[in-house]
Structure 1
Amino acid sequence: MKTIILNQPGEFQLISREIDDKLADNEALIKIHKIGICGTDYHAFRGKQPFFSYPRVLGHELGAEVVALGKNVDTEQLVIGDKVSVEPYLNCGTCQACLNEKPNCCENLKVMGVHTDGGMCEFLKIPAHKLHRSKVLGYEQLALVETLGIGAHAVQRASVTSNDIVLVIGAGPIGLSVIQFAKLHQAKIVVMDFNQQRLDFAKQLFNTDVSVLAKEGFTSDDLKTALNGALPTVIFDATGNPQSMMKAFSYLAFGGKLIFVGLFQGDVTFFDPDFHRREMTLFASRNSLPADFKMIIKNMEEGNIQTQAWLTHEAPFEELPNVFESWLDPSSKVIKAMLSV
């Protein structure tokens, strides 16, 4: 089968591998149809992805078709021919986090395309319970569910309500997914980015309430002016940029919540007296839960979530080694790129 492997930073290779179609109990074989490209893939290509080793087959945003099932798969939940979204978080099921129903942060977690080979191939074996089907959605939409899940889980972590002023820092795909679900909670949405085009896209797609172009030297007083004297009660930093993440502490209202959706390889520091004086709450948000996948698919099927505008770039599978680097160029204005297998 065709497979694309990232041998080392900056080096993709199209290879051929044998298909291992011997299925264990409760396992499924899927045919990959669509592969979303995400920040993890870009970071891996640049050599800046934490918890990563080479060579690696990338790809964890997948729209796929069930082509074979192992023994003991519940056929009321999954049958051959189903279109599915893939939950790419392979948890152990036995650690403290898993037993506490937090498989997204399993102590032994292996994320497909990061810690173990992912879906940049034609066929893939996966535990059947990691597949979420839809009788309505197409492969392209199903490949976007995992991206949306990152935002959905972060918003759930923050318990966003209609009374909140929500600031989303970073209007890339993860920031957009946060905006999507904060909007479902009817919060006031403020978006901050250095890129005016991304701010305009967020405004067009979600009718966000306030757009803030973050120029050099931007302060909390500037933000307060933009918000008519208020500050955000909830902040999501989706940049993965250390300067942005640490500066976000100064933007938060007293009693507010700060959620780091992005991450970087390093330490976060903050001024402790101010942290206590404001009685801030700091959250990390990692991956998403099975219930998030089900909720997202349901909302997509009901038309509450529109995804077509997200897809700005697409290429055939075999062309990835030739086009990937161009997607890293800010002038290409990529929001979401996708491969067709």
Structure 2
Amino acid sequence: MKAVLCLEPGRLEVVDRPPADNVPDGWVRLAVSHVGICGTDYHIFAGKHPFLEYPRVMGHEISATVISGGRGTSIAPGTPVVVNPYLSCGNCVACRKGKPNCCTAIRVLGVHTDGAFCEEIVVPEGNLYPAQDLSPEAAATVEFLAIGAHAVRRAAMATGARSLVIGAGPIGLGTAIFSRIAGHQVTLIDTSAERLDFAARKLGLANGIVADADVAARVAEATGGDGFDVVFDATGHGGSMQAAFSYVAHGGTLVFVSVVKDEIRFSDPEFHKREMTLIGSRNATRQDFDHVVASIASGLVPVEALITHRTTLDRAVVDLPRWAEEKTGLVKAIVKVAVA
């Protein structure tokens, strides 16, 4: 058994890690197939994650196959699954409302507890969703895409709404794709012309605005001065999140997909005169995972275009640190764990 351990900030090593001897009641033992590398993983590697103790096994974008289940489980061995990495308590106010994605005691695999940069993991059966006919590699993209799908569902905008997605990284691109699936007229903003070009050429998201000194004027021009019906900020940048208020149409909605430690300040008169709705969107629920799986299966999500980089578990100790610095052309990197 091997695991890629983040032993300390800036240091990765492949070490032996024996599998668990016993599977707890209601939990399932999995053979990990593929794992996506997330922006969170790069932050963990760099020592910039504020709520993490080292050493930590990273990895929370997971596809796997069932090995065996503990007492009380029913999922069959050999079943390919997508793993929901958000472990919830089931008892808090959020869980009682059917919102385990914002559980007050949430533990995320690879962040608060060890994740899937290893050959086997054990997780609750309730966190496993059938991968249907998805390839194991495509199944490893479901979690990050579910973040955007959840944000779009939270916005509850009708077909034909004009949407603006700020940030053309993986989460922003996923949000834009699911906004398009919802029937919205999608525009992207990013500081990188290269990313906007990628979105246009590879994903068919042709409406792009470069975030430069003239960005406010270009947003106004794109909407005839009205602003956008819904704005999604997926930048993880406090300044961008504050600027986003001014892009929202009167009667419109602003969704914060990303989160920062900063305080977000805005003009109350500007907020009120728009009668704007402000929404926080955190993680995703089974409904979103199922929607993503179905959308990939039906060809609505260009997964092959989104996966730009690939590596193996052994090579990840070299490739992940390099990709943490070399971002050109990088959208989503996938680690192949299973030995085939």
Alignment equivalent of 1:95, drawn from 86, 92, 103: 92
Paired letter, 2:127 = K
Alignment equivalent of 1:261, drawn from 257, 263, 269: 257
Q: Deviations over 1:275-333 (max 9, x none)?
A: 11111111111000012112221222222323111111111111111111221235532
Cross-structure match for 1:21:
21
State whether structure 2 residue 336 is matched by structure 1 residue 328: no
Paired letter, 1:4 = V
State whether structure 2 residue 231 is matched by structure 1 residue 210: no
Percent identity among equivalent residues?
A: 39
SS in 2 for 1:233: strand
Correspondences of 1:7-86 after superposition (within 5 Å): 7-74=7-74, 78-86=75-83
Correspondences of 1:256-335 after superposition (within 5 Å): 256-335=252-331
Cross-structure match for 1:178:
175
Deviates more, 1:200-209 or 1:238-247: 200-209
Q: Note if contact 2:94-2:104 (Cα within 8 Å) is conserved in structure 1.
A: yes
Q: Note if contact 1:21-1:125 (Cα within 8 Å) is conserved in structure 2.
A: no
Deviates more, 1:293-302 or 1:194-203: 293-302
1:47–1:22 Cα change, 3 Å: same
Q: Note if contact 2:257-2:280 (Cα within 8 Å) is conserved in structure 1.
A: yes
State whether structure 2 residue 38 is matched by structure 1 residue 5: no
> Which whole-Å CA distance do the structure 1 matches of 2:146 and 2:135 have between them?
17
Unmatched tracts of structure 1, length 5 or more: none
Cross-structure match for 1:104:
101
Paired letter, 1:273 = P
Q: Name segments (4+ residues, structure 1) moved above 4 Å.
A: none
> Which whole-Å CA distance do the structure 2 matches of 1:317 and 1:208 have between them?
33
> Which whole-Å CA distance do the structure 2 matches of 1:209 and 1:162 have between them?
18
Paired letter, 2:142 = V
Q: Deviations over 1:204-228 (max 9, x none)?
A: 233225210111x234333112334
State whether structure 2 residue 128 is matched by structure 1 residue 121: no
Paired letter, 2:214 = F
Q: TM-score, normalised by structure 2?
A: 0.95
Cross-structure match for 1:141:
138
Q: Deviations over 1:23-75 (max 9, x none)?
A: 1222110011101001111111222224222221110001111111112212x
Cross-structure match for 2:218:
222
Q: Deviations over 1:217-256 (max 9, x none)?
A: 2343331123343311100000001111111111111111
Q: TM-score, normalised by structure 1?
A: 0.95
SS in 1 for 2:314: helix
> Which whole-Å CA distance do the structure 2 matches of 1:209 and 1:308 have between them?
18
> Which whole-Å CA distance do the structure 2 matches of 1:135 and 1:259 have between them?
30
1:186–1:206 Cα change, 3 Å: farther
> Which whole-Å CA distance do the structure 2 matches of 1:331 and 1:119 have between them?
23
Alignment equivalent of 2:127, drawn from 123, 127, 130: 130
Paired letter, 1:49 = H
Correspondences of 1:159-198 after superposition (within 5 Å): 159-198=156-195
Q: Deviations over 1:174-201 (max 9, x none)?
A: 0011011111111110000011121112
SS in 1 for 2:163: strand
> Which whole-Å CA distance do the structure 2 matches of 1:249 and 1:230 have between them?
13
> Which whole-Å CA distance do the structure 2 matches of 1:134 and 1:239 have between them?
29
SS in 1 for 2:57: coil
Q: Deviations over 1:127-164 (max 9, x none)?
A: 11111113411110110000111001000000022231
Q: Note if contact 1:23-1:29 (Cα within 8 Å) is conserved in structure 2.
A: yes
1:259–1:50 Cα change, 3 Å: farther
1:189–1:135 Cα change, 3 Å: closer
Unmatched tracts of structure 2, length 5 or more: none
Q: Note if contact 2:3-2:14 (Cα within 8 Å) is conserved in structure 1.
A: yes
SS in 2 for 1:287: coil
Paired letter, 1:340 = K
